Copies of this chain bind each other. A is one copy, B any other.
Amino acid sequence: MKLSDKKMRKKKEDILLSAIKVVNKKGPNGATMEDIAAELLMTKGSLYYYFKNKEDIIFQCHEMVLTEATSDIVDCQNGNGTNEEKLLNMIKTHIRYAIEKKEIFNMMIKPGEMFTEVQLNQILHMRNEYALKFDETIVKGIASGEFVSEDPVLTRMMILGAMNWIQQWYRPNGKKTINEIQEIYAASLLKLLK
């Protein structure tokens, strides 16, 4: 029925969230089914009621994370304002992800060992979809004269790369607040499009 369907979906999501946490701490190979289950006060056997196997869990983690992030970025894109304003929003959103949802974010940028060719391609494809949102905005900005770039894709790569690196050094009690980082990065990175 609908009810148990919802429960099922909720539980699945819980498991995925738990898996994300564990995978981020120990890596996909280091994370054990027991780790994932323990977080939820379940036993590892139960996980198999919801997922086919470990690979399946890890894969759906990536899927969930990328879907959510893409949706947020699309929201920026569909908002009001100039292309520059939109891109600034997208940059800030991405940075917020990198910092506040470090675990989820990490999964977005590391395809991770363990997958079959097919699965890996699927994930990389989704990741590319995400990146395309940035490209679209940049290209529109170039068309409207807001931006300048000889190679928009390469420029986007630089922008995303610079931001993805944040989670490598960011520490909660560091000198800069999230806001400051967002502002400085946004301002600086826009220079790449001038």
- List chain A positions with a Cβ less than 8 A from chain B: 25-30, 109, 112-114, 150-151, 154-155, 157-166, 168-169, 176, 181, 184-185, 188-189, 191-192, 194
Q: How many copies does the complex hold?
A: 4
Least Cβ–Cβ distance between A74 and chain B, in angstroms: 22
Which of the residues B29, B158, B163, B194 comes within 8 Å of A189, measured between beta carbons? B158
A sample of 4 more A-B contacts (CB under 8 A), given A27-B27, A30-B113, A157-B162, is A154-B176, A160-B165, A161-B163, A191-B191
CB-CB under 8 A from A184, the residues of chain B are 150-151, 154
Q: Which of B30, B112, B166 is within 8 Å of A114, CB to CB?
A: B30
> Is the CB–CB distance between A165 and B154 below 8 Å?
no
Partner pick for A192 among B157, B161, B192, CB 8 A cutoff = B192
CB-defined contacts of A160 to chain B, threshold 8 Å: 165
- Of B25, B165, B176, the contact of A161 (CB 8 Å cutoff): B165
